[in-house]
Structure 1
Amino acid sequence: MYAKKLVFLFVVLCTMTTANSFAQSQDQAVAQAVEKLRKLMIDPDKAGLEAIASDQLSYGHSSGKIEAKAAFVEALTSGASDFKTIDLTEQTITVVDNTALVRHRLTGETLDKGNAAQVKLAVLLVWVKQKGDWKLLARQAVKVQ
């Protein structure tokens, strides 16, 4: 009887450790996707942007403007939306099944249509795992002080 309890306890501990490791690896994979997106927004690459964005992308700007995938990619690759720097802080990641919610503060320098500006935003990103890769499904930003 004692041996059965000991084996049961061992199995439970192994399961908890495996589940915790899986959750941490999921968080790390999402964090890597966020970092890849940050770099692509500074140095846009059409193929890279198209690969990281879901075909159903809904990209919301702090101005209220909403873009689908094609418009999002075009704005960055054409220079209409031009980030010179992007710093992310206060990032949190919550993974539920194949969906990840990422919140962070974004500060950066832009040069949109030749006009230099500083941005300070609170951002919500929604990522979905599609065919083994994390894809950006939605983004919404709001201006903060």
Structure 2
Amino acid sequence: MKKLLLGLCLALSGIQISFAQSPADQEIIKLSKDKWQWMANKNVGTLDSLFHENSMFVHMGGSWGKQRELGVIKSGGIWYKKADIHEVSVNIIDNTAILLNRIDLLAVVGGNEVTNPFIVTEVYVKQKGTWKLGSLSFTKLLTPGN
């Protein structure tokens, strides 16, 4: 019985360890969280440094590149007021990080305040020791909490 209990405890502690985030995962999660705040603050200077020159952005109304995204943020065409992040996962493959966020996004679009549930896919590429956002893609969920 003691051996069984000890084995169960070791197995459970191993499971907890497997869910631990690596320093690189933590770095990407923090960068993503900071990005949401920079977008809310319309901090296009910082975002310009973060976004890769060839980055792509996919929204419910279309897709476009870096300069248009920065223009949309600066003009308030889309004001990302607040992203409530519910779940985050990160997969790193060589110099590429794929982050998935499940969020509720409060935004002003075309002068109307809206809240939508999304899965957001962010792809980061590490170049010369710095992570750059290569893609940001919004997938609207049919119902909140899914």
Query: Which range, TM-score by smaller chain?
Result: 0.7 to 0.9
Deviations 1:56-110 (A, max 9, x none): 10111133x1110001111011100112211112110011111001011121211
Would you say how many aligned residue pairs link Structure 1 and Structure 2?
A: 123
Tell me the percent identity.
24
1:59 to 42, 57, 60: 57
| Cross-structure match for 1:43 | 41
Q: Give, as a single letter, the amino acid of the residue that structure 1 aligns with 2:130.
A: D
1:82 counterpart SS class: strand
Within the alignment, does 1:87 sit opposite 2:84 as a pair?
yes
1:72 to 69, 72, 80: 69
Q: Give, as a single letter, the amino acid of the residue that structure 1 aligns with 2:32.
A: V
| Cross-structure match for 1:31 | 29
* CA-atom RMSD in angstroms: 1.5
Q: Distance in 2 between matches of 1:127 and 1:25?
A: 15
Which protein is bigger by CA-based radius of gyration?
Answer: 1
Q: Distance in 1 between matches of 2:96 and 2:126?
A: 6
8 Å contact 1:62–1:140 — kept in the other structure? no
Q: Give, as a single letter, the amino acid of the residue that structure 2 aligns with 1:43.
A: N
> Any unmatched runs of 5+ in structure 1?
1-19
Deviations 1:29-62 (A, max 9, x none): 1112101211111111121010110111011113
> Any unmatched runs of 5+ in structure 2?
1-17
Deviation of 1:113 (Å): 2.2
In the TM superposition, structure 1's runs of 4+ consecutive aligned residues that sit over 4 Å from their partners are none
User: Structure 1 or 2: larger helix share?
Assistant: 1
Q: Distance in 2 between matches of 1:84 and 1:124?
A: 19
Within the alignment, does 1:129 sit opposite 2:126 as a pair?
yes
